[in-house]
Structure 1
Amino acid sequence: MILHADLDSFYASVEQRDDPALRGRPVLVGGGVVLAASYEAKAFGVRTPMSLSRARALCPQAVVVPPRMSAYSAASKTVFEVFRDTTPIVEPLSIDEAFLDVDGLRRIRGTAEEIAHRLRADVRSRTGLPITVGVAPTKFLAKVASAVGKPDGLLVVPPGGELDFLHPLPVERLWGVGPVTAAKLRERQIHTVGHVARIGEAALVAMLGGGAGRHLHALAHNRDPRRVETGRRRGSIGAQCALSRSRGLSEIEAVLDALVDRVTHRMRRAQRAGRTVTLRLRFGDFSRATRSRSLLKATMQTSAILRTASELLHEAAPLIAERGLTLVGVAVGNLDSDGAEQLELPFSAPRADGLDAAVDRVRERFGAASLRRAAMVGREMNPSVPLLPD
């Protein structure tokens, strides 16, 4: 049995928990766009991500609060501690939801339903937040159960009762059915999951295409063989820095140096080489731009990744000069799963590897602050010495 645990209107619930004056009132979290809405606001039709002006038109009495990401991160950390105290097999989906495999805990912790009851009580007592849990034999059905059970509920789909629960639900409950697909199905009088299940796979493929047709046919029959996965390796490693004031290109390059050093240090520590360098920019008018370039071979060398990131930055220099820059970030993707690195420059690479290794050893022995102070001294002697991160 699998649990899908999902915090209810997470950001808004944190705000209501921390400010008693907001409890029972419609709360919107966001700026120009609604990031979260309390259930009192959702009752008026407010949804995410809706523009704040539209949300206020629907619910004029709503209280708007700015997001506090540090508070949400702290709450999420505590909730995931509860998850891992419940079972070691936890698959995070986002900051506020996860799958938990409790199938092997019957003898020591009781049934899946009993475990779910305790989980909800533990989250409430340790964080003060409401959480909904769906319990079912498959990941797909557990997630559907938690959606149907909201808010602050527990819904168990017992083995043998899966299709009785699933088939009366509207087609939108199937993963992958958005407004466009739902409209196509409803045009053909297909309104429920049961209707989808009664259509042959070939007919669904002809109607929606090969991938979508086979996918929906399997879900409508509750065929979902996926297990809860722990320790999935990330597909990219990145870092970013907000800029509080307008800076010249040379200052931005120094920040980029620091970010690349931080990212490549993490890559070497994880033994992950990457091939695609991505530069992320946010301008003074709040618009964003992304620039990417793929290398011929995967690398974890600071010099090779910094060279590519710097080239991308210089290509974006006209936009930066025109709009100003408020955030710069760099990420390396297409990471090798086994940590193997193919050297891009056979003659200079060993020297670069040695320098990277020396920097890593100093950082890990004395800390990044000492490394940064040494870099500052080096910069006074030679301005080409790169600036290292805090």
Structure 2
Amino acid sequence: MDRVVLYVNPLTFPIAVERRILARLAGRPVALAPGDTDRAIVWSASPEAARAGITVGMPVYQALRCCPDLVLLPPRLALYRRAAAALERILRPFVPVIEPHTLGHAYGDLTGTRKLFGPALDVAARVRREIWGRLGLPVTVGLAGNKVVSEVAAHMLKPEPVVDVRPGEEPAFLAPHPLAALPGADAPVRDQLARYNVARIGALAILTRVQVEGVLGRRGAVLHARANGIDPRPVQPPARREALRAQRTFGAETNDRDVLAAELRALAEQLGRALRARGATADALTLRVRYADHRDAEGAAPLALATDLDVALTAAARRLADRVVARRIALTAVGLVATLGTGHDVQLSLFEPPPPALRRVDLNAAIDRVRRRWGTGSIGYGTGDRGLGNGRPALTIPLSPVPSPRE
């Protein structure tokens, strides 16, 4: 039985959600950018803004030069996650297995459902109608025999709202498209391949696997297979582990380690407060940073003890930074993700005094009480850190399931 994989692609999802709420935004160039400074970075741009030359990752001051009429809005991540959850609820009656991808986007496995729901093309068309009718969000849908081809199909700029790639047609379909359309072919990969005049998926596909591995290393085998339309990954629902996220976009690009340390402490404290408010602990921490050249870096590590303590989260975040922030390029944004554990399952020694971190439980509780009464900035740890937003809340900490990482 041939696999049938569907990919749902809401067009400029966050801005489409904003336009659903604010009708005055229709037809106008719109961009989302966190912060209230012109050094902030564009997070999402409408098609009208893109036609004016605005790109994701562009500083706001530059975007305003390209388009003086640009409407700037702060991102509302909690709102977008609610919209993404509503979209997934619409999919569920038609798609038995759903794997959320990036915000608002999802894979679905329709294999073996023809007798229940009809042909895959009919299902895709109905999904589009339902999402538009109930949410007012425009979407395109890709259909193919695997995840990578369905995703590329859904992102094609074609008048057809549903693109169906039949079995055996995958290499011919992919070949004319630029490498940027191939999932996994990020900017560093494209830069390496450009040295060999490989700019399109078809040019990568006709090379041998050994040749591609010689340029890209082990990941070359995966990208070579994808360029030939081969992707064995199953559609998998995410593990239902929850996470708290805190992030900040810097007001100005910086490579000052003291500034980064202070921001990590502020974000770790915010995560700690959110964990304690829920009566939860974290057993793993993920650090994500964005450089001024728009490249991202990420690292994760388990915590030795599940914790909700500011000092332990801060120490773990700084250890991650020592490993993740390895380039000499300035940073524009930083974020922390705390994966929720199962509780305060800490086993103490009968004969040793409690470790210093555990003795801070009462201190954290006292600080939380002061902040609830007098405000976030009313009390903090004594430190020499020079943060850009010391003690202020970051952009947001919405609670949401952790999606499967993009491969």
TM-score (norm 2): 0.64
Deviations 1:272-313 (A, max 9, x none): x83x46899xxxxxxxxx999965x4x4476xx567348789
2:131 to 123, 127, 134: 123
Which position in structure 2 is the counterpart of 1:238? 244
Kept after mapping to 2: 8 A contact 1:309/1:330 = no
Which position in structure 1 is the counterpart of 2:175? 167
Q: Aligned in 2, Cα 1:192/1:198: closer, same or farther, shift over 3 Å? A: same
Do residues 215 (structure 1) and 222 (structure 2) align? yes
**Alpha-carbon distance in 2 for matches of 1:70, 1:108:** 35
Which position in structure 2 is the counterpart of 1:308? 312
Aligned residue pairs, count: 310
Which position in structure 1 is the counterpart of 2:27? 24
**Alpha-carbon distance in 2 for matches of 1:180, 1:293:** 24
Greater RCO structure (CA 8 Å; 6+ sep): 2
**Alpha-carbon distance in 2 for matches of 1:98, 1:180:** 25
Q: Aligned in 2, Cα 1:195/1:233: closer, same or farther, shift over 3 Å? A: same
Which position in structure 2 is the counterpart of 1:97? 105
Kept after mapping to 2: 8 A contact 1:6/1:97 = yes
Which position in structure 2 is the counterpart of 1:4? 7
Q: Secondary structure at the match of 2:17?
A: helix
Q: Secondary structure at the match of 2:69?
A: coil
State the shift of 1:16 in Å: 2.3
Kept after mapping to 2: 8 A contact 1:132/1:150 = no
State the shift of 1:26 in Å: 1.5
Q: Aligned in 2, Cα 1:278/1:145: closer, same or farther, shift over 3 Å? A: closer
The structure with more radius of gyration: 1
Q: Which aligned pairs between 1:264-275 and structure 2 lie closer than 5 A? A: 265-266=279-280, 274=283
State the shift of 1:229 in Å: 0.2
**Alpha-carbon distance in 2 for matches of 1:28, 1:120:** 25
1:261 to 273, 276, 279: 276
Aligned-pair RMSD on alpha carbons? 4.3
State the shift of 1:140 in Å: 0.4
Q: Aligned in 2, Cα 1:150/1:64: closer, same or farther, shift over 3 Å? A: farther
**Alpha-carbon distance in 2 for matches of 1:222, 1:203:** 18
**Alpha-carbon distance in 2 for matches of 1:108, 1:221:** 31
Deviations 1:333-374 (A, max 9, x none): 5x88xx79985424389x9xxxxxxxxxxxxxxxxxxxx9xx
Q: Aligned in 2, Cα 1:39/1:210: closer, same or farther, shift over 3 Å? A: same
Aligned residue identity for 1:124:
W
1:33 to 31, 41, 56: 41
Which position in structure 1 is the counterpart of 2:365? none
Kept after mapping to 1: 8 A contact 2:5/2:146 = yes
State the shift of 1:56 in Å: 1.9
Q: Aligned in 2, Cα 1:332/1:347: closer, same or farther, shift over 3 Å? A: farther
Q: What 5-or-longer segments of structure 1 have no aligned partner? A: 243-251, 268-272, 281-289, 316-328, 352-371, 377-390
Q: Aligned in 2, Cα 1:198/1:277: closer, same or farther, shift over 3 Å? A: closer
Which position in structure 2 is the counterpart of 1:145? 153
Deviations 1:160-209 (A, max 9, x none): 21112011222222223233432332332323222212111111122x23
TM-score (norm 1): 0.66
**Alpha-carbon distance in 1 for matches of 2:343, 2:71:** 52
Which position in structure 2 is the counterpart of 1:62? 70
Q: Secondary structure at the match of 1:104?
A: coil
Q: Aligned in 2, Cα 1:238/1:151: closer, same or farther, shift over 3 Å? A: farther
Deviations 1:242-271 (A, max 9, x none): 9xxxxxxxxx999876534346x446xxxx
2:203 to 195, 199, 202: 195
Aligned residue identity for 1:213:
G
How many percent identity over aligned positions?
29
Kept after mapping to 1: 8 A contact 2:153/2:163 = yes
Which position in structure 2 is the counterpart of 1:226? 233
Kept after mapping to 2: 8 A contact 1:132/1:149 = no
Aligned residue identity for 1:261:
R
Which position in structure 2 is the counterpart of 1:132? 140
